[in-house]
Structure 1
């Protein structure tokens, strides 16, 4: 009986230790939460901040990964998907938009983005909330965004990458969100991948029509007299080939035809160490992206430090 009692005590002790460690050191039960939206599918819930895997995250009242909109600063709309969003793998201070704001203190670059967003998500957001009296728009896209059109699949609360509420127990989150999907992936060919995970595998998105968000953002740009700048981010495979794929070529052709300025990531000195996977940027990559943004914005809006 004493031996069984000791085993029970040990199990309880280990369970409490694991629960505490997962919460305190890794930020379990503190993931960014998401909400659905009838205009642009989904976005991070507003007014939340936390720490996950050692990295801080924060969202303002407009669900932007930014501080509250400052009426006294020149605003720039930073638009895009998980590349500019950063995810919990990037600390709030390490994402490109935060670096821009630190180095250009009289300017506020708003981070309006979410994982697997396309240009149409971004344009729908601006149609709903307006342009925040911004002076320019900078859209970060990748080749697959050419056909990454909104389909309004109910991902919030249904996919592990878009939770709508916190887990009550850290060890259950570990098992349900990380362990079980990997076990399932091994034994099942039908794995429900996150859209960004599909992109990570180099899979082109085969939509029927070219993403309408490009034209919608161009129209917003013209109507509000906002310069629109596009940064075409290369996937690692494109970086190695030093050439964009066919879908990237379509985006380049659209920009040329519509006289929209487009910055090509392949023209800059990105290397493999600037990527944390086949598409998302590491901290060094975010720094380089920030420098590209800074140099372009200084020219576009004639920024001064005074």
Structure 2
């Protein structure tokens, strides 16, 4: 009987030690319970909290005092604004296209340049313009708007998402183990399917073209700030060799309004993607190179 009790105690202690080790490992190595947090906003739906500096899945995330995915604002720098969604927001800080461009353009200008990254997951042009309208241009010399085909009709709804969707958290999990199961393992086990925005090629009847495109055009034209549209291709578009009908709407808009456009359809390969839409570090480098090439023409 004593032998059985001792064995149970030993197993219990071992189980507790394993739990503690797992909890610490998930926190310190993988960055669980160190999520990038967000907040709701009455003007542009939601945004990442300002002044965040954290590591997660061995990647570093910095958000400055204006919730930009950039270093703190330096008024002595040349400023270029890059607006977009998760395409320019995902990944390690130093590997982002905007971070690469900050370094390369500083070398080109022989003066420090900040290519400021103003982005959040699933933002459309109207979200971005609402930010621009609220905070201004930061005396930017140029503005880039990074979009994908689905952004043509991806309008703001102000549906409550922060603190509701697991991809838009407003507080940290209390336990790393619980976060692992609740956010990653259980959703996969239940085979919950999510529609990828990247494969959308139709819109509900009556949905208006995203107002942000025209707002950016009018705003920058009035202030004589050069605007460039960067149209990012999804894997299905890459395989088709053309942008879908929504992407063509954006191309038509740019042509009608004489807006310079960069298209990465012929620049990327499937190896540059981490999923059907988002790009990896190789893809970020190619986006940076495409923007840099525009400066060197």
Specify the alignment match of 1:100 in structure 2: 101
| Match for residue 203 of structure 1 among 188, 196, 200 | 200
Deviations 1:173-192 (A, max 9, x none): 11111122222335xxxx5x
Once residues 155 and 182 of structure 1 are traced to their aligned partners in structure 2, the CA distance between those partners, rounded to angstroms, is: 21
Q: TM-score, normalised by structure 1?
A: 0.90
Once residues 8 and 272 of structure 1 are traced to their aligned partners in structure 2, the CA distance between those partners, rounded to angstroms, is: 48
Secondary structure at the residue paired with 1:17? helix
Specify the alignment match of 1:227 in structure 2: 226
Specify the alignment match of 2:9 in structure 1: 5
CA deviation after TM superposition for structure 1 residue 298, in Å: 4.6
Q: TM-score, normalised by structure 2?
A: 0.93
Once residues 229 and 10 of structure 1 are traced to their aligned partners in structure 2, the CA distance between those partners, rounded to angstroms, is: 59
Instruction: Tell me, yes or no, if the aligned pair for 2:272 and 2:282 is still in contact at 8 Å.
Output: yes
Over the aligned positions, Cα root-mean-square deviation in angstroms equals 1.3
Secondary structure at the residue paired with 2:53? strand
Long gaps (5+) in structure 2: 107-111
Once residues 155 and 205 of structure 1 are traced to their aligned partners in structure 2, the CA distance between those partners, rounded to angstroms, is: 24
Task: Give yes or no for the alignment of 1:20 onto 2:11.
Answer: no
Specify the alignment match of 1:79 in structure 2: 83
Deviations 1:13-54 (A, max 9, x none): 110010011011100000100010010011110000100000
CA deviation after TM superposition for structure 1 residue 216, in Å: 0.6
Once residues 70 and 16 of structure 2 are traced to their aligned partners in structure 1, the CA distance between those partners, rounded to angstroms, is: 41
Secondary structure at the residue paired with 1:172? helix
Long gaps (5+) in structure 1: 300-306
Specify the alignment match of 2:274 in structure 1: 276
Once residues 93 and 40 of structure 2 are traced to their aligned partners in structure 1, the CA distance between those partners, rounded to angstroms, is: 23
Secondary structure at the residue paired with 2:218? helix
CA deviation after TM superposition for structure 1 residue 205, in Å: 6.0
Specify the alignment match of 1:303 in structure 2: none
Once residues 253 and 37 of structure 1 are traced to their aligned partners in structure 2, the CA distance between those partners, rounded to angstroms, is: 31
Once residues 224 and 56 of structure 2 are traced to their aligned partners in structure 1, the CA distance between those partners, rounded to angstroms, is: 39
CA deviation after TM superposition for structure 1 residue 102, in Å: 1.4
Over 3 Å counting, the alpha-carbon distance change for 1:93 and 1:74 in structure 2 is: same
Specify the alignment match of 2:254 in structure 1: 255
Specify the alignment match of 1:304 in structure 2: none
CA deviation after TM superposition for structure 1 residue 146, in Å: 0.4
Deviations 1:80-107 (A, max 9, x none): 1110112xxx110000000011112221
Over 3 Å counting, the alpha-carbon distance change for 1:143 and 1:34 in structure 2 is: same
Secondary structure at the residue paired with 1:112? strand
Over 3 Å counting, the alpha-carbon distance change for 1:133 and 1:298 in structure 2 is: farther
| Match for residue 288 of structure 1 among 277, 286, 289 | 286
